[in-house]
Structure 1
Amino acid sequence: MHKSMKGALVGATIVAFALTGCAAGGTPSEAPAAGEDLVVDDQLLASAEVLAAAQEEEPIVFYTGGSEVSEQQAADAFTEATGLQVEIVRLAPNKLNERILAEQAAGQLAADVIRISGEDLIAGIADAGTFTPVELTDDIAGGLIPEATYDDGLYYSSFDRVYSFGYNNQIVEEADAPQDWADLLDPRWAGQVGIVQVGAGGSTAALTRFQFDRLGEDYLREFAANSPRIFDSSAALTDALARGEITVGPMPIATAYSATLDGAPITIATPEEGAAAYPFYLGATESAGSPNSASIFVNWLLSTQGQTLAAELGDYPVIEQAPNPTIGEIELPAADSDFVFRSTLEESLDNLQADSELWSEIFGYTG
């Protein structure tokens, strides 16, 4: 199905659409007048009373393990639609988890809203009593797929991100570029390839599960034989790839695409063997200092406008009849296609420790 997408260049030259100054979908939005309900794209996000209370609160503090560029675009679009401000605290998921749990234990959690990947991370955060249920409006709740709701609405999946690989197109000619996962085993990439360590978060756990399940243990052993440079986060790997410090490496599509929006010379592959999908979970905190704003933000992120923006940045939405993700001019395969490899939360947790231990043994990684 996706052979025609192989080698699709997603670089600065094709990024003709800019989200700055307009909401997702290309239609500018205006904050409602005083006394009006908050309605965006014909969806009710908040009553006039909730909006008025939110307008008296401090800016939303948003703790996220997502990419800095894509989360800033989401925050900007939200502010344009609602008039409410967002302050972003961005860390790699494993580091963000440490901060959340430490602040929660001390009774000093600063976050109003959290978005993070990793089944073990979200379970631990929820078990620590971090979240409070958000009341979704009927318009928003009615559009979600059933799989997006966890613990009766204590938290949600906000989108599925996909882990593929990319290469530096200023170093690698298109004719010589890797197209499939098997191509990364070529000895010509020895010393030029990177990979993110397995414990970085839900993204690397999902990638490792995909590689063991669909590609096999021998694949990772051959990959390790190419002496990859091991990174602590996908952001760090993407930066190194953009600078030419490495030539090729696995990375989340949305992270790589966000980098291309800033001019990074990265081409994103859509390999024949497929790619690993993993949820980014979303919840409002029990200690939120701006609870009304937090509720509106969660509703907006799960709205048609918020989910359309996610799709425009390469992520798979969690609403019914959602558009397929796009990266520039390229549309990714449908969510139910063989391209998308998913594990359930239970499958991910069941395999997490064994996968991590075997990955560490294969790569000689000691942390």
Structure 2
Amino acid sequence: MTRHHTRRGILRAGMATGGAALLTTLPAARVFAQEPAKPGEIIVRAWGGEWVDSLKRGVSDPFTEMTGIAVRHDLTEDNEIQPKVWAAVAQGRVPPIHVNWDTTTNATKSALRGVTEDLSDLANLSNTTELAQPVGLEAYPLVNTYGYVYVLAYRPEAFPDGPPQSWRDLLDPRFKGRIALYNDGIGFHFPAQVAGGGSLDDIPGNMEACWNFVREMKAQNPLLGEDPDFTTWFQNGEIDAACTISTNALAARRNGLDIAWTVPTEGCKFDTDCLWIPKNLPENELYWAKQYINHALSQKGQQVWLDGLGLPGVVPGLTPPEGLAGDPSYPTKPEDFERLIRISSSVQVQNESDWFARFKEIMQG
């Protein structure tokens, strides 16, 4: 699919390369020689709970301090905002948000539709690792900002013999009603394929092994939810184990709970999230939305933001959060990825909505 790049950014190249680099270092009054008019606010779509709190600390509040532009966080779920943004761009309307904090798979769908702005002119891109580059897309219709692992998080008290070795350990009758999964099964499909006796090489062609294991898991009456739910469930003592992004378990641990996580023998899914800007913003708002993402790619911005999330970023030289150096949920070296499952974005883009539907159908059946 070919995408038409509007290169309005070239008009600003002189300003953007010089000015944007200064954004992270100079006080608000001196940032740009000829900066465009500032909007009163920019709207950034985000996930709730610890997720938005960390973004606010690391990126949004410092951006407001530097520019004077307020940041409003829209907590509409990523899958719900997507059709609204697509419709606005298709109809030539101004989109409902300035910046979308999104899964890379969802964002790739938007990029392939041609609804995303090109971010190749962000000054701080020059200091990012290859993880920032979207795979299989031209230029930068989105920028990956960190990686994460869908770990098996658990309460050690419920596993007195040590961490669960296999995802199949969760089928023990004593965990009935005490396991949590995402409500669309995200993060669980790939290890389920292996736990069900199948091969990762058969994804997406033959995933019957995955669906068989999902059926076995359904008999355990798992709780189904979104990111903020997992932390709450652990804190309330409602669950003993969950397939969830490590951030949610870390948030519960930081709140004083005894929570641990592991990568079972079948592996865990590794993925990335990103930031992107929808087309059709007024020119000045597009400019400032880009400066927001540029700050999110600065070392200072990444350090504070990702300390809160406990995730490895895309800027070299970040200090791992306390206790996470060498942790399986914080991969930084090639060998750290050996037990993690990475499936190409293009395969996920083509199949994810079908996988979500199939998972929900089994769980609701």
TM superposition score normalised by structure 2:
0.72
Structure 1 pair 271–104 and aligned structure 2 pair: CA distance change class (3 A): same
Work out whether 1:365 is the aligned partner of 2:364: yes
Work out whether 1:277 is the aligned partner of 2:257: no
Matching residue of 2:345: 345
State the Cα distance separating 1:358 from its structure 2 match. 4.9
The alignment partner of 1:227 has SS state of coil
The alignment partner of 1:348 has SS state of helix
Work out whether 1:316 is the aligned partner of 2:297: no
For residues 318-351 of structure 1, the C-alpha deviation after alignment (integer angstroms, 9 at most, x for no partner) is 23x454854x423224343223321111222344
Matching residue of 1:243: 236
- Cα RMSD of the aligned pairs, angstroms, is 3.4
The equivalent position to 1:83 in structure 2, one of 63, 66, 84, is 66
The alignment partner of 1:116 has SS state of strand
State the Cα distance separating 1:96 from its structure 2 match. 2.9
Amino acid paired to 2:143: Y
The equivalent position to 1:60 in structure 2, one of 42, 52, 73, is 42
Aligned 1:171-250 pairs, distance under 5 A: 172=157, 175=160, 178-180=163-165, 181-198=167-184, 204-213=185-194, 216=197, 217=209, 219-231=213-225, 233-250=226-243
Structure 1 pair 92–164 and aligned structure 2 pair: CA distance change class (3 A): farther
Structure 1 pair 307–77 and aligned structure 2 pair: CA distance change class (3 A): closer
Matching residue of 1:160: 147
Unaligned runs of 5+ in 1: 1-34, 199-203
1-structure distance, mates of 2:131, 2:240: 40
* Mapped contact 1:190–1:226 kept (Cα < 8 A): yes
Matching residue of 1:92: 77
2-structure distance, mates of 1:114, 1:303: 18
The alignment partner of 1:347 has SS state of helix
Structure 1 pair 322–67 and aligned structure 2 pair: CA distance change class (3 A): farther
Matching residue of 1:40: 24
1-structure distance, mates of 2:238, 2:108: 36
2-structure distance, mates of 1:157, 1:183: 33
* Mapped contact 1:62–1:86 kept (Cα < 8 A): yes
2-structure distance, mates of 1:226, 1:282: 36
Structure 1 pair 228–214 and aligned structure 2 pair: CA distance change class (3 A): closer
State the Cα distance separating 1:108 from its structure 2 match. 4.2
Amino acid paired to 1:38: L
Identical residues among aligned pairs (%): 17
State the Cα distance separating 1:118 from its structure 2 match. 5.4
Matching residue of 1:329: 323
Amino acid paired to 1:210: P
Amino acid paired to 1:224: K
Matching residue of 1:14: none
Matching residue of 2:302: 307
1-structure distance, mates of 2:271, 2:360: 21
* Mapped contact 2:23–2:291 kept (Cα < 8 A): no
2-structure distance, mates of 1:36, 1:229: 45
Unaligned runs of 5+ in 2: 1-18, 198-208
Structure 1 pair 132–317 and aligned structure 2 pair: CA distance change class (3 A): same
1-structure distance, mates of 2:162, 2:186: 26
Matching residue of 2:202: none
What is the aligned length?
313
The equivalent position to 1:286 in structure 2, one of 276, 279, 303, is 279
State the Cα distance separating 1:252 from its structure 2 match. 1.0
For residues 37-84 of structure 1, the C-alpha deviation after alignment (integer angstroms, 9 at most, x for no partner) is 725379xxx96236x436x322221012x3442333223333336524
The alignment partner of 2:128 has SS state of coil
2-structure distance, mates of 1:220, 1:264: 32
The alignment partner of 1:86 has SS state of strand
Amino acid paired to 2:98: D
Matching residue of 1:148: 133
* Mapped contact 2:310–2:324 kept (Cα < 8 A): no
State the Cα distance separating 1:235 from its structure 2 match. 2.4
* Mapped contact 2:269–2:341 kept (Cα < 8 A): yes
State the Cα distance separating 1:137 from its structure 2 match. 4.1
Aligned 1:65-144 pairs, distance under 5 A: 66-78=47-59, 79-80=61-62, 83-84=66-67, 85-105=70-90, 107-117=93-103, 119=105, 121-144=106-129
TM superposition score normalised by structure 1:
0.71
* Mapped contact 2:102–2:275 kept (Cα < 8 A): yes
Greater share of strand residues, 1 or 2?
1
State the Cα distance separating 1:310 from its structure 2 match. 4.8
